[in-house]
Structure 1
Amino acid sequence: MAINFKKTYRFAVKSALYISIFSTAFLAVLMYYLMELNWNFVLLFSISLFIFSFFVLQYRVERFIYRRVKKIYDDVSLLESSSFRNKSITTDMATLTREVEKFARDKKIEIETLKIREEYRREFLGNVSHELKTPLFTVQGYILTLLDGAMNDKVLRKKYLQRAEKGVERLIYIVQDLDMITKLEVGTINLNSTRFNIVEVIQNVFDLLEMKADIKGIMLMFDMKYIKPIMVYGDQEKIQQVVTNLVVNSIKYGKENGTTEVSIEDLVNNKIIIRVKDNGEGIEKKNIPRLFERFFRVDKSGARTEGGSGLGLAIVKHIIEAHEEKMYVESKYGVGSEFSFTLEKTK
């Protein structure tokens, strides 16, 4: 390997200087006592010895540091040998120490990141398995019952086939949501951005979910009467899905005879913020950072009885980020929650 000299020559300069001073003084003393003192010869000797000592020390120390430090790196696998081999070696121990510490920190961060990703991967696979096996086992159970003889009973046959169909619909719903969130993450879904009235979109969502809200006695309402349209710029279909998912969640986790209130407020720089607020059970502070993870549920048991794929908030987050907008969550346990997001406002 070719040694690349780096401009950190302090060690070699000092060492060569000490050797030259000592050797020159020793030579001068010998010449003074043993022969005639020739100062020109002494000066030439001193300079030549200094230059020779400097290059020998610089070269040898670099070789020494490279071989031993590289062996340590290779042994503990702290860094790829290629990344070290392509860099200049320095005799400046402070610089070397900083480089080693930086390598150690980078590798520690990389290891911790890999551990987090591995934990997330295991949890994600477990959640996917759990979400899929429930409707699968349901469908399998009804089909096996029909095959065992229930098929001959017309009443049971229709009943079991209808229940099996619900299980298949849930499977399709989960797969479709998984497909959408995957496309959103890799950026293969193009936004069809247009100018539209956000008030009308929210009202459409209210009309769609009115019967679902009535079952729990929840009132869907605006914070005030919006007479004039509020025009925004974005993908109308995707934004309607965002509002739908947020309102569905507020109904799902809201208390009976409660309210779900939507408000629209102006912000600076031609932005508006849409707030979806409920007076439901709220979310504990420790769970808020994980709300937008795939399949994460605050209530592991009760949430599944309400249906849904467990991907609603994850999809919401990706849609809003695809619009280059922000998503916010505020919640107080036992009081209620507020989900909000920004949009670009147009005239």
Structure 2
Amino acid sequence: MKRIRFFQTVQWKIVILYLLLILIAMQVIGAYFIRSAESYYLNNFNETLNTQANLLAVNVEKYLEEEMVPREDIDNLIHNLFALRNADVQLLDQNGIVLTTTEENKAFIGQKNTRAEVNMALLGTRNESIQYNPETRQRVKVLALPIKKGTKILGVLYMVASMEEVYHTMRQINGIFATGTGIALLLTAALGIVLARTITTPVKEITRQATAMANGDFNRQVRIYSEDEIGQLGETFNLLTRRLKQALSQTEAEKEKLSSILANMSDGVIAADGDRNIILVNKPAQRILGVSYKTVLGKNLYEVLSIPGDSDERDSLFEENGSLLMDMNVEGEERLIRFSFTVLKNRAEQKHAGIIAVLQDVTEQKALERERQEFVANVSHELRTPLTTLKSYLEALEEGVVDDPELSRRFLRVLLNETDRMTRLVTDLLQLSRYDAGQYNFDFQPVNVPELLQDVVERFALQSRQENIELQLDFPAHDLPPVKADRDNIIQVLDNLISNAMKYSNENTKVMIQACEVGEKYVRIDIMDEGMGIRKRDLTRIFERFYRVDKARSRSMGGTGLGLSIARQIVLAHGGTIEIDSEWQKGTRVSFTLPVYEEMKNES
């Protein structure tokens, strides 16, 4: 069963409590007052009745001692001495015979009164009681007073007095008291409502403000109605609202900063709670791990990172701050991921509160480190070989070979060749370092591709006849558009590619050089040979510096191992692409593209 709604409000609780308090107080006071008034009036009534009865008994005693007393004298005496209204008096002799009465009905005179009270009085016992008169429907006081002379009973004074005036007076008093109680209750209710409103109105304002704050509205203020404790509470709540608004604004700003930092970090960040369940993962972490936010949120950190072992073994890894380096398969590709983690601890409860892990994909970094080490090793090896040769021949010259003209000239030619080899190596390294640093100045001009290729082929004509390798040019029937290029640098690329094609080709083979337009923006140049080819395992690393497919043959031919790397850098700097396709023992195809010179094209 539900409560009545107004019992759920403080205002009506206060009003009802005040009404109940006043009602209880009025009832207690009324009960005590009415009891006292009733006792007073009844005692006064009884005292008056007893006084009148004793007075009559004393005065009629002398008449009852005489045998013959005129009834008129007794009537006069009773009427003169008895002053109570609404009361009847009978005077009885010692036999219970009514001698006289104040009642209108005089038929009782001469008759015997047989009431129990009279009989007890004739025996000498005073008797009084309150009785209900069925005829008048009123309460009456019955008093039977024996009249004695010594021990002798002379008669009985029998009195019946109505108590209606006493109870009428009490009813009037009760009515006045009830009216006063009602007026007091109405005034109390009115004052209680006013008092309750002075308390509950500010409380309602504070409640509405608290509800608005719970819904995110911090712009409202509690209205202050007074300067008492309730008003001070309202002022304090307004201050709390302002402080809370400032705190939330600062928190939101910090949250935005943190979100911006996490979103723009190059490193991945994963946060987990004390149960190792993921609660935050930024976009770089999603990219590094190859997962989405929805799929990993709430999942166990160990499972997402694929950390092996049971829970105890994995927990032992995250007891203190540290880092892990792990190989992971991300979308079918092996990646090397470094996890640097910080363990958050709840100092009060002495237990783990969470983990913050920073993820870094160090695959490229490790590959670059490996390339750097290989590069240093290759440079050292490439320089050591000619330096060793130089030292050996110089020592031989110092030991006396210089005296032999023919042998010393041969040694000097070797020294010159090795010096040239070192010079080419250093020159190539310097050129690559400039490209790596972006320090290259190309003179881009419109270059006619057929003319360029013909010039380059003519330069290799003598070598091709000596090595019995045929050089062929293949152009489309229509004119090719000019390309935007630095002529000297593109000649260096072609020299390197054609030189390699001839170097790794056998006698009685041919090297084909083709040129064609690709779309409307590029011209592609292909150099194809029928030489030894390149194994597939070497194709992915063919553009690495100092990488050689056939190291012994390359060194014997004087190569530095940097030609293809330089060619690639030049082509990329021109905005083109370069790629190699080869089949072992069948030949190699090197293709690179150059952008069309737009101004010339537009003019045409």
Provide TM-score, normalisation by structure 1.
0.71
Distance change in 2, residues 1:146/1:225 (3 Å): farther
Match of 1:234 in 2: 485
Listed as ranges, the matches of 1:169-180 within 5 Å are 169-180=420-431
**Is contact 1:194-1:233 (8 Å) kept?**
yes
Match of 1:311 in 2: 562
Listed as ranges, the matches of 1:6-85 within 5 Å are 43=204, 46=207, 51=213
Match of 1:97 in 2: 280
Match of 2:575 in 1: 324
Match of 1:208 in 2: 459
Amino acid at match of 1:334: Q
1:196 to 2:454 alignment? no
Local SS of the residue matching 1:301? helix
**Is contact 2:467-2:507 (8 Å) kept?**
yes
**Is contact 2:516-2:523 (8 Å) kept?**
yes
Amino acid at match of 2:464: A
2-structure distance, mates of 1:256, 1:274:
24
1-structure distance, mates of 2:512, 2:496:
14
1-structure distance, mates of 2:201, 2:557:
99
1:272 Cα offset (Å): 1.7
**Is contact 1:281-1:335 (8 Å) kept?**
yes
Amino acid at match of 1:236: R
Structure 1 residues 233-275: Cα deviation after superposition (integer angstroms, max 9, x where no partner): 3211111111111100101112232111001112221432111
RMSD of aligned Cα (Å): 3.9
Distance change in 2, residues 1:140/1:211 (3 Å): farther
**Is contact 2:480-2:516 (8 Å) kept?**
no
Match of 1:186 in 2: 437
User: Identity percentage over the alignment?
Assistant: 27
Distance change in 2, residues 1:113/1:145 (3 Å): same
Local SS of the residue matching 2:362? helix
1:117 to 2:368 alignment? yes
Structure with more of its chain in strand, by fraction: 2
Distance change in 2, residues 1:155/1:118 (3 Å): same
Listed as ranges, the matches of 1:159-174 within 5 Å are 159-174=410-425
Deviates more, 1:202-211 or 1:316-325: 202-211
Amino acid at match of 2:524: I
Deviates more, 1:293-302 or 1:275-284: 293-302
2-structure distance, mates of 1:267, 1:103:
38
1-structure distance, mates of 2:517, 2:424:
35
Distance change in 2, residues 1:197/1:99 (3 Å): closer
Match of residue 287, structure 1, among 538, 545, 548: 538
1:308 Cα offset (Å): 1.5
Deviates more, 1:97-106 or 1:168-177: 97-106
Match of 2:34 in 1: none
2-structure distance, mates of 1:228, 1:32:
103
2-structure distance, mates of 1:156, 1:142:
11
Local SS of the residue matching 1:281? coil
Local SS of the residue matching 1:321? helix
Provide TM-score, normalisation by structure 2.
0.43
Distance change in 2, residues 1:130/1:341 (3 Å): same
Local SS of the residue matching 1:272? strand
Unaligned runs of 5+ residues in structure 1 are 1-26, 71-78, 84-93
**Is contact 1:238-1:319 (8 Å) kept?**
yes
Structure 1 residues 163-190: Cα deviation after superposition (integer angstroms, max 9, x where no partner): 0110000000111111112222323221
Local SS of the residue matching 1:320? helix
2-structure distance, mates of 1:201, 1:191:
17
2-structure distance, mates of 1:168, 1:318:
26
Report 1 or 2 for greater relative contact order, CA contacts < 8 Å, sequence distance ≥ 6. 1
1-structure distance, mates of 2:244, 2:521:
66
Distance change in 2, residues 1:207/1:101 (3 Å): closer
Aligned residues: 296
Structure with more of its chain in helix, by fraction: 1
1-structure distance, mates of 2:592, 2:434:
21
Match of residue 135, structure 1, among 365, 386, 400: 386
Local SS of the residue matching 2:447? strand
1:316 Cα offset (Å): 0.8
1:285 Cα offset (Å): 2.1
